[in-house]
Structure 1
Amino acid sequence: MNRLEGHIGAIRTCDQISRVTAVLDAGQEIQAVVIETPETAPYLKKGSKTAVLFKETEVILCLPGNSQISEPNQIPAQVDEMEAGILFTWIGLRTPIGDLGAIIPSESVSLLGLTPGKEVIACVKTTEVMLSGL
């Protein structure tokens, strides 16, 4: 599980769903979809400290230059280490917001030409990001 800390920077609500922008301590913004509102969840207050969590299996890797991706959660990263398995490979990533992990299909490693030092973009769907009050 990837875990980062920051604060809530913005909240946009419609019905019982909120799109929350968390500003991480390193300045990067991460968006999350939360099935709560500021009225139903006390931690959803602008400026409140929050932990941003997402599974390693929810990280999608792409190569720089693919700027037309619909996902706003794009984090520049560098491959630091890799643990190859038959079906999946764990990728350790160095990013401006801290170290992250990603688990991707092993076939994708060769498809993307991933090796330690390779620059990538780590994407996480807004619907797969969890927030937790601190």
Structure 2
Amino acid sequence: MNTFQGKITKIESSESLSLVQILVDDVLFKTILLETPETADYLKENQSVNLYFKETEVVLAKRNVDFISMQNKISGIISNIEKDVLLSKVEIKTEIGFVKSIITTFAVEQLQLKIGDKVTALIKTNEIMISE
């Protein structure tokens, strides 16, 4: 599990949903929650929170990602690749720490990923969880 600490910078709510922005160092993450400030006490601006997302929810890209709808994008350099028959674990050194991704070994080979490559990790807003 990828885990980081950050602060809530903005909350937009509609009905029972909230779009929450969390700043981790200088990187902005967004998550959509089935909670609002009225239903969850910890949902308030400047609140410190833990941010989590599974390694299997991290998509990797090697090229321009400006025209992709995923809002959570963090660039870094591949520091390690552990290949297995079906799946591979890729570790990316970013400005906020290490982000881990588990993707198919076929994808690693198709993208010709290697240690030292610059990549962008992409995470959908509904795949990020937060807690106090």
Asked if these proteins are the same fold (TM beyond 0.5), I'd say yes
Q: Counterpart in 1 of 2:47?
A: 48
Q: Counterpart in 1 of 2:128?
A: 129
Q: Using the alignment, how far apart are the partners of 2:76 and 2:63 within structure 1?
A: 10
SS at match of 1:29: strand
Structure 1 residue 64: deviation in Å? 2.7
- 1:11 and 2:19 equivalent? no
Q: Counterpart in 1 of 2:20?
A: 20
SS at match of 1:40: coil
Unaligned segments of structure 2, at least 5 residues: none
Structure 1 residue 93: deviation in Å? 0.8
Structure 1 residue 103: deviation in Å? 0.1
Normalised to the residue count of structure 1, the TM-score between the two structures is 0.96
Identity %: 34
SS at match of 2:126: helix
Q: Which amino acid aligns with 2:8?
A: I
Q: Counterpart in 2 of 1:64?
A: 63
Q: Deviations over 1:62-90 (max 9, x none)?
A: 11323210011000011100110111000
Q: Using the alignment, how far apart are the partners of 1:100 and 1:52 within structure 2?
A: 12
Q: Deviations over 1:35-72 (max 9, x none)?
A: 00001000100000001100000000011323210011
Normalised to the residue count of structure 2, the TM-score between the two structures is 0.98
SS at match of 2:107: helix
Q: Using the alignment, how far apart are the partners of 2:53 and 2:64 within structure 1?
A: 24
Unaligned segments of structure 1, at least 5 residues: none
Q: Which amino acid aligns with 1:9?
A: T
Runs of 4+ in 1 over 3 A off after TM superposition: none
Q: Using the alignment, how far apart are the partners of 1:81 and 1:2 within structure 2?
A: 15
Q: Counterpart in 1 of 2:102?
A: 103
Q: Using the alignment, how far apart are the partners of 2:19 and 2:33 within structure 1?
A: 6
Q: Using the alignment, how far apart are the partners of 1:72 and 1:97 within structure 2?
A: 17
Q: Any residues of structure 2 matched to 1:71-86 within 5 Å, and which? A: 71-86=70-85
Structure 1 residue 102: deviation in Å? 0.4
Q: Using the alignment, how far apart are the partners of 1:132 and 1:21 within structure 2?
A: 13
